[in-house]
Chain A
Amino acid sequence: MPVDETLSTYSDWCYGSAVGVYVLAMLFSLVDQAFGRHGTRQAERTERTRELVGAGAPVEPPEPPERPEPATSGRAERARRFGRMAVALTVLGVGLHVAALVLRGFATGRVPWSNMYEYGATLCLAAVITWLVILRRFAIQHLSVWVLLPVIVLMFLGGVVLYTEAAPVQPALQSYWLVIHVVSIALGSGMVLVPGVVSVLYLIKVRKPEWAGRLPAADVLDQVAYRTTVFAFPIYTAGVIFGAIWAESAWGRFWGWDPKEVVAFVAWIVYAAYLHSRATAGWRGGRAAAINILGAAVMVFNLFFINLVVAGLHSYANG
């Protein structure tokens, strides 16, 4: 199947634009974070009672939270408006991001997550969409800057260092498991980036409250981190199992302690420890958050270090 160069070029443009729009959204959100009034009102502590439409629902910018606002200063209100624009821009970025992947898929006639560049893009998309879904439940869009920052860094690295020309895949990847395994793993690992970031904010809030005047209450951060992790963990678990099933038919064994498998196992154990820590006296709160951060760090380590530095069966960086 020949590669359609035109579509591939359009895909690259979309990717670049998505990163640009995310950067803009991050800057707008930064204004909101810096000058908006946050973390002071009780209203922020309560979660929105509006029904969550579901993860598969089309993502729209959440309406401005309806709460009886006291007359805030004009500056704070302007900053808030920036925050709302940041969310709208993020949605636009997601649109471009999706377009980049879809176009690459059509350009190559296969699923658009078959090398490191494409996989990174898919993973980041999962992270941003996760964040938008969270925003529908929790009025914390001024934190977008902290979520978009790592996403932009990952996408920049992906686009500059890992960029791979659109090409068909090697025989070992020609399997329907490429859809099932990689999607579930990318979803799981992309989603857990968000609780990783939120847990960092939680730790700051708890350990250094004097720095964290503009962060939401600790229990809100804890809730966001926990609920997202709990949603992502089974997806990730299933992804690892799908990987094992695929490995059984591609490599002759379902588990062989390939470096990627090892670190996937380690990450799984860390998240299992996170879940257990929340049921252990003395480990809730700060320690649990630290474990969550460790989990996200292991995931990123698995994505970059293991694929690029350690040679293994998962070294697909170049196609």
Chain B
Amino acid sequence: MIAFLRNTWRGLTSMRTALILLFLLALAAMPGALLPQRDLNAGAVEDYIAANGWWGRLLDRLGFFDVYASVWFSAIYLLLFVSLIGCLVPRTFEYAKALRGKPVLTPRNLARLPHHREGRTDAGVTEVMAGARRRLRGWRLTEREEDDGARSISAERGYLRETGNLVFHFAMLGLIGALALGKMYQYEGQVIVLADGSEFCNSGTYAYDSFQPGLRVDGTDLTQFCVRVNDFTANFLPSGAADYFRADIEYQTGEDLETGTWRPYALEVNDPLRIAGDRVYLLGNGYAPTFTVTFPNGEQRTQTIQWRPVDLQTYLSEGATKFDPPGITDPAERREKQIAVTGLFAPTAVLQGNVLASAFPEARDPAVAVDVMRGDLGTNSGRGQSIFEIDQRMVDQGRLERVARENLRPGEEIRLDDGTVVHFDGVERFAYLQVSHDPTQVWVLGFAVALVLGLVTSLTIKRRRVWVRATPITDDDGTGRTVVVLGGLARTDQAGYGEEFGRIADDLLEPEPEDAERVPAGRET
């Protein structure tokens, strides 16, 4: 049993396994780019499943539309995580030992090493050794006495390579950990606010149009702040392409909430408002037409509801503005008199035949092409419905009927058969805001920076060794000389050590060129 566990552990932490896991991770991530994903575009996922029948349903059951939350994706990166730890722990110990250790003994035969030079000098052994020590300042070295009066230096350099490598991998662990923590405590919410001085307060999830909480966020303890959108400015190029968006907002947080102080801010794309650990983004914008309905009993209701842009080149928008008849207490009767104004809005209207299109995204000549629906909107059925659409099933069941179809400019109105008047008042801008909260993203950034620094260190620094051996000899003519042999070895597979070794050898063997005879290098790579 223990043997089995040990073998499993060894297998899991081997480089080969890590490599295979890396490939699996890359492979498993790919469907997320090629298939629609629920958290990015839920509608596209539904369309895909509907269009692909059993295949789509199978993919759905296997989690292919939520790749990064799927069991298999998590399994791979958890295994990789464990493998990484298993690799790092022993390496850290080895590293700590290496830091205290001395460079290894000088090999007997330096000529066998990948880098090798040899020369003779008139200088004595002590002098040569002193020169080598001077030249190898900054290297970790030890000097040893050898047989027959020879002495050698063993030097090593580039320990930072392993430091960088470990920093990189630990930063990776930290980054994954910070990401996981972030998934617990982050939240993100989207809300549409009319740019007419309307306010939004981050007081609870109910204030949002949509809200995505982290696993440990229940929506009760959100940061308190309020935002008021006073104005929205957009600038478009003659081609209709967007050039510039700005929401002039005011915000209050902390003490300001009690004192009622509002602070101004120009909210722009790329320039979120950062307050109290939250960020407020300007993610989109659009138009909200205002309709006033005068009911037969004379009562008026006015609503300005955002319609959603369907074409971002022209801001042609669609939507549904829904009205409850006032003064009717009987629910059954009310459900026969509900009114919805639904259709298209064009900021710069062009009529192609009778079909409304938009020529430009600015509100130069706004118009709506609307159906006025009367009957049961289905809003009391308890089912949620989109604010941009009417419930098509109500129409199919004949409970919601079209009573008028008309193109309207601001100031124009439709009179229905029962005397109800639908008046198109004008149009307001809205800002689409997102509030994001992620307490660990600063940590993620810190780890990412450490990761790059570690990576650069580990890829640029070479762990390399050089050995110098000086042996006294007596020449044929009887004078004492010294044979200097150098050997070099780059411990990692990165080449390019040849040049540095060459310079060291030059400096040691040829202080004055005629002093030493040069033996050509064996192999230099």
Contacts and interface: CB of A to CB of B under 8 A. Distances in A.
B12 to A, nearest CB: 15
B525 A259 contact: no
A263 interface: yes
Given A170-B242, A227-B496, A254-B441, A262 B29 contact: yes
A283 to B, nearest CB: 7
B493 A278 contact: yes
A46 B522 CA distance: 11
Interface residues of A, number: 55
A284 B452 CA distance: 25
A253 interface: yes
Nearest to A254: B441
A252 B436 contact: yes
Interface string B178-189: 000000000010
A226 B496 CA distance: 12
Interface in B56-107: 67-68
A223 interface: yes
A47 B525 CA distance: 7
B494 A226 contact: yes
Given A245-B445, A257-B40, A306 B33 contact: yes
A72 interface: no
Given A49-B502, A174-B269, A252-B188, A230 B494 contact: yes
A9 interface: no
Given A171-B245, A237-B451, A280-B15, A219 B525 contact: yes
B499 A234 contact: no
Contacts of A13: none
Contacts of A51: 499
B417 interface: no
Contacts of B123: none
Interface in A219-242: 219, 223, 226-227, 230, 233-234, 237-238, 241
Contacts of A162: none
Nearest to A276: B19
A319 B434 CA distance: 25
B18 A276 contact: yes
Contacts of B494: 226-227, 230
Interface string A145-184: 0000000000000000000000110111011010000000
Interface string B34-45: 100101100000
A251 B271 CA distance: 10
A217 B395 CA distance: 76
Given A226-B494, A252-B279, A280-B16, A171 B237 contact: no
A317 interface: no
B32 A272 contact: no
A250 B270 contact: yes
Contacts of B448: 241, 244
Nearest to B23: A273
Interface in B434-467: 434, 436, 438, 441, 444-445, 448-449, 451-452, 455-456, 459
B19 A252 contact: no
A166 B271 CA distance: 25
Nearest to B245: A171
B495 interface: yes
Nearest to A262: B33
A34 interface: no
A167 B434 contact: no
Contacts of B68: 257
A249 B272 contact: yes
B135 to A, nearest CB: 19
B15 A174 contact: no
B208 to A, nearest CB: 14
Contacts, number: 136
Interface in B291-338: none
A304 to B, nearest CB: 13
Interface string B217-254: 00000000000000000000101011111000000000
Contacts of A233: 455, 459
Nearest to A45: B525
Which of A172, A262, A280 is the most central at the interface, judged by chain B CB atoms within 10 Å of its CB? Answer: A262
Given A168-B237, A171-B269, A277 B32 contact: no
A273 B244 contact: no
Interface in B1-42: 15-16, 18-19, 22-23, 25-26, 29-30, 32-34, 37, 39-40
Contact of B244 (A171, A253, A269, A284): A171
A249 B269 CA distance: 8
A55 interface: no
A172 B441 contact: no
A256 interface: yes
Nearest to A284: B493
A269 B502 contact: no
Contacts of B436: 252-253
A49 B188 contact: no
B239 to A, nearest CB: 7
Nearest to B312: A170
B268 interface: yes
Given A234-B456, A234-B459, A167 B188 contact: no
B33 to A, nearest CB: 4
A233 B40 CA distance: 29
A223 B525 contact: yes
A310 interface: yes
Nearest to B235: A171
B29 A269 contact: yes
A270 interface: yes
B270 A171 contact: yes
A78 B282 CA distance: 64
A279 interface: yes
A88 interface: no
B283 interface: yes
Contacts of B451: 237, 241
Contacts of A249: 270-272
A266 B29 contact: yes
Interface string B409-450: 000000000000000000000000010101001001100110
A5 interface: no
A133 to B, nearest CB: 14
Contact of A241 (B452, B498, B499): B452
A168 B243 contact: yes
Interface in B175-206: 188
Contact of A171 (B26, B243, B444): B243
B357 to A, nearest CB: 20
A253 B525 CA distance: 46
Given A171-B269, A233-B459, A263 B33 contact: yes
Contacts of B19: 273, 276-277, 280, 283
Contacts of A263: 30, 33
Given A252-B279, A253-B438, 19 more contacts: A47-B495, A167-B239, A170-B241, A171-B245, A171-B269, A172-B270, A174-B269, A226-B493, A227-B494, A230-B459, A244-B448, A250-B270, A252-B283, A254-B444, A257-B37, A265-B29, A266-B29, A273-B19, A306-B33
Closest 7 CB pairs of A and B: A262-B33, A259-B33, A171-B269, A269-B26, A273-B22, A252-B281, A280-B15
18 contacts: A51-B499, A172-B269, A175-B270, A177-B270, A227-B494, A237-B455, A256-B40, A257-B39, A257-B67, A266-B26, A269-B22, A270-B22, A273-B19, A273-B22, A273-B23, A273-B26, A276-B22, A277-B19
